[in-house]
Amino acid sequence: MSTYRAPLKDMKFVLNELAGLGEVGKLPGYEEATPDTVDAILEEASKFASGVLDPINYSGDQEGSKWADGAVKTPKGFREAYKQFCEGGWNALPFEAEWGGQGLPRLVSTPVQEMWKSSNMSFSLCPLLTQGAIEALLLRGSPELQRRYLPKMVEGSWTGTMNLTEPQAGSDLSLVRTRAERQGDHFLISGQKIFITYGEHDMSENIVHLVLARTPEAPEGVKGISLFVVPKFVPNADGTPGKRNPAKCASIEHKLGIHASPTAVMVYDKAVGYLVGEENRGLEYMFIMMNAARFAVGLEGVAIAERAFQRALAFAKERIQGRDLVQGAQGTNAAVPIIRHPDVRRMLMLMKSQTEAMRALAYTTAAAMDYAHKHPDAEARKQHQAFVDLMIPVVKGWSTETGIEVASLGVQVHGGMGFVEETGAAQ
């Protein structure tokens, strides 16, 4: 099976020649993103992806996460890899220095995250969900909530989740029914959530659930949904994880893929929760944050396409089958590597060219996010934000759909072996 190698040459080409890393590094607050520092970060990240995450990608998918009695055991090696990930500062990389992060532009965290997703999609979902929860707290959490939760979550010792979906409320979140009853300075949350990524696991000392729910007075529909923080262990005054909250994992799903990533059914039975921002504005906050999440999912399409291409290319160079069209006609009878055949070449080129196009669009959009955030001129910020708003659905929709097409071509390049788990193409 082929080992993942980060496409550093292409990543650097896109960063420097297309997305304008040099200019982004001049924005106030991003001065640390010099070409040398960025090179060093990419080199180190690629070592972590190839050396730590890639080796447990296939085994993790085969073993899967296991549920027993409310607890979830992640596959062999995941706990240790996550510990190393946090100790190496990788979890903190995308966040502001104020909270223990490295304050790097999104343009730099984007290729790094592409590497996590390519080398081990299941693993990468844990920090992804933590990032979403952190962004919600940064956006609207009270100073008290921020002080209590952000340092642990940025460091990675506490992970985060997003609890939107319920059995009757998927795309249509106006149908959310989970209840929140006020009790003094907090709320008691009751209801069932489904499909909660990393809703329960054994890699961190606490899990911070961000939950959409309704207060008793809330109006019907989307205007009556509030956002709450519901910790697995309610933190003590000194910040250590305290009493176990009745926020329980009832089961995990048996899925088509990403078997190592636990997808939990969560049951809340009067669990202690704290309001984020104002009542009835939860969905609005969630959607601001969803923009970052959509971008990240689009990047998953790029990452899966890259991984599929690398496997297909390695196979096409090794597999000997059929004669060379020109030499064969001249009487040479030796079978050749299948990369020699025009149709295999066409598939490899479709994989390569679309992956590179998606990467270029995603990184260019990441740079626009940095400008929209930090450009000194308000008009320029507005223009970049307009570009971001236009491109995010494209990065998300087009890259994920194309990611599937590219992965499917990868299976085809492998012939019959593409249908067999061992090669990794099916994964």
Ligand X SMILES: Cc1cc2nc3c(=O)[nH]c(=O)nc-3n(C[C@H](O)[C@H](O)[C@H](O)COP(=O)(O)OP(=O)(O)OC[C@H]3O[C@@H](n4cnc5c(N)ncnc54)[C@H](O)[C@@H]3O)c2cc1C
Within 10 Å of residue 424's Cβ, how many Cβ atoms? 21
Per-position x/- string for 106-145, each x denoting binding to ligand X as judged by CB under 6 A, each - no binding = -----------------------x----------------
- E-strand ranges in 108-235 read 158-163, 179-183, 186-197, 206-213, 226-231, 233-235
Q: Which is nearer to ligand X, 96 or 253 (CB)?
A: 253
- Choose the contact partner of 163 out of ligand X, another protein, none; CB within 5 to 8 A by kind: ligand X
Contacting another protein (CB under 8 A), which of 352, 375, 384, 414? 352
Q: Rule CB under 8 A: is residue 361 a binding residue for another protein? A: yes
Burial class of residue 324 (count of CB atoms within 10 Å of its CB; 0-12, 13-18, 19+): middle
Q: Rule CB under 6 A: is residue 195 a binding residue for ligand X? A: yes
Give the binding-site size for ligand X (rule: CB under 6 A).
Answer: 11
Distance, in Å, from the CA atom of 230 to the CA atom of 161, rounded to the nearest integer, reads 10
Q: Which residue is nearest to ligand X (CB)?
A: 170
Q: Rule CB under 8 A: is residue 18 a binding residue for another protein? A: yes
Q: Rule CB under 8 A: is residue 113 a binding residue for another protein? A: no
Contacting ligand X (CB under 6 A), which of 109, 163, 310, 423? 163
- Choose the contact partner of 267 out of another protein, ligand X, none; CB within 5 to 8 A by kind: none
Contacting ligand X (CB under 6 A), which of 36, 171, 185, 334? 171
Taking alpha carbons only, the member of 235, 94, 245, 98 closest to residue 158 is 235
Contacting another protein (CB under 8 A), which of 250, 314, 350, 417? 350
The SS3 of residue 126 is helix
- Choose the contact partner of 330 out of ligand X, another protein, none; CB within 5 to 8 A by kind: none
Q: Which stretch binds ligand X (CB under 6 A): 88-96, 162-170, 234-242, 381-389?
A: 162-170
Residue 241 · residue 172 · CB < 8 Å: no
Contacting another protein (CB under 8 A), which of 47, 317, 346, 382? 346
- Choose the contact partner of 195 out of ligand X, another protein, none; CB within 5 to 8 A by kind: ligand X
Token pair 């012939």: residue = 415
Distance, in Å, from the CA atom of 323 to the CA atom of 341, rounded to the nearest integer, reads 8
Q: Which residue type occupies 57?
A: N
Helix, strand, coil shares of the chain, percent, nearest 5, are 55, 20, 25
Q: Which is nearer to another protein, 130 or 400 (CB)?
A: 400
Token pair in block for residue 230:
């519901």
List residues bridging with 188 in a β-sheet: 181, 272
List residues bridging with 211 in a β-sheet: 163, 228
- Choose the contact partner of 269 out of ligand X, another protein, none; CB within 5 to 8 A by kind: none
Distance, in Å, from the CA atom of 101 to the CA atom of 201, rounded to the nearest integer, reads 24
CA distances from 163 to 167, 194, 210, 235, 264 (A): 12, 8, 6, 20, 10
The least CB distance from residue 300 to another protein, in Å, is 15
Distance, in Å, from the CA atom of 127 to the CA atom of 334, rounded to the nearest integer, reads 50
Q: Rule CB under 6 A: is residue 196 a binding residue for ligand X? A: yes
Binding site for ligand X (CB under 6 A): 129, 162-165, 170-171, 195-197, 263
Binding site for another protein (CB under 8 A): 9, 13-14, 17-18, 346, 349-350, 352-354, 356-358, 360-361, 364, 391, 393-394, 397-399, 401-402
